[in-house]
């Protein structure tokens, strides 16, 4: 189920029928999906009660993010929560950077880059060996392994902020369009990560 979920998260087109079948085979997965949607849509007049309804309501890009979150949660095991929290913050912040430069949201490759940046530490495997087994886009793998490409740039900027490396942050900022408010974006990512940790 885990590899199947990750493959769906990184695909350009989501196979709703295949995904529904995966979820229907796992009661816990179905429950988490419905709980996540209902939490995210508190203003929705009617609670969402079916998988199909949930998937349609979320839309492809958001659903792929949720699938990836579940995959990471399943991998966590006994790994420190801090590693998972950092991965969530990176995912949200990389996604915000992608939105700022108007990158495509489907598949959510920036989000996936941040989310899986610590996966090798979580499962305690060499990163190159682990990524060879995972069905992620080549661009995402290059970003994770070598910090290459647009996604690699987002991840490098995120890491510079984490480490309070202000000279590197300022240098990397030169490549972003004007108007990027990094502090509010990062604080929002931290708050979002905390809310996700309470749900998944």
Domain count, the chain: 1
pLDDT in tens, 43-86: 555 565 567 667 777 777 788 888 788 778 777 777 678 888 99
C-beta separation of 47 from 63 below 8 A? no
pLDDT in tens, 119-157: 888 888 899 998 888 878 899 999 999 999 999 999 999
pTM confidence score: 0.80
pLDDT for 38 equals: 65
φ, ψ of residue 118 to 5 degrees: the values are: -110, 5
C-beta separation of 116 from 139 below 8 A? no
Place of tokens 């508190």: 42
pLDDT for 136 equals: 83
pLDDT for 141 equals: 93
Over range 164-168, report the average pLDDT. Answer: 94
pLDDT for 50 equals: 65
C-beta separation of 139 from 149 below 8 A? yes
Sign of the Cα pseudo-torsion (190, 66, 72, 25, in order): positive
Sign of the Cα pseudo-torsion (49, 55, 61, 67, in order): positive
126: which 2 tokens?
Answer: 């060499």
Per the model's pLDDT, the better-predicted residue between 128 and 14 turns out to be 128
Per the model's pLDDT, the better-predicted residue between 101 and 154 turns out to be 154
Q: What whole-number distance in Å separates Cα of residue 131 and Cα of residue 112?
A: 13
Q: Which domain holds residue 174?
A: 2-197
Identify the three-state secondary structure at position 8. helix
Q: What is the CATH number of the domain that holds 114?
A: 1.10.3210.10
Q: What whole-number distance in Å separates Cα of residue 3 and Cα of residue 5?
A: 5
């Amino acid at each position: 189920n885990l590899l199947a979920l990750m493959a769906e998260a990184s695909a350009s087109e989501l196979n709703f029928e295949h995904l529904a079948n995966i979820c229907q085979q796992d009661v816990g997965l179905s429950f988490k999906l419905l709980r996540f949607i209902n939490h995210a849509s508190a203003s929705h007049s009617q609670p969402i009660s079916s998988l199909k309804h949930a998937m349609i309501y979320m839309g492809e890009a958001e659903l792929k993010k949720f699938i990836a979150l579940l995959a990471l949660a399943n991998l966590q095991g006994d790994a420190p929560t801090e590693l998972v929290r950092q991965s969530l913050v990176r995912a949200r912040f990389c996604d915000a950077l992608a939105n700022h430069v108007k990158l495509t949201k489907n598949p959510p490759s920036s989000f996936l880059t941040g989310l899986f940046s610590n996966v090798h530490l979580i499962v305690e495997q060499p990163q190159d060996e682990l990524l060879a087994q995972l069905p992620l886009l080549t661009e995402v793998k290059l970003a994770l392994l070598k910090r290459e490409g647009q996604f690699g740039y987002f991840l490098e900027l995120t890491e510079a902020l984490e480490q309070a490396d202000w000279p590197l942050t300022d240098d990397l900022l030169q490549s972003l369009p004007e108007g990027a408010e990094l502090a509010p974006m990062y604080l929002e990512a931290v708050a979002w990560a905390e809310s996700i940790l309470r749900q998944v």
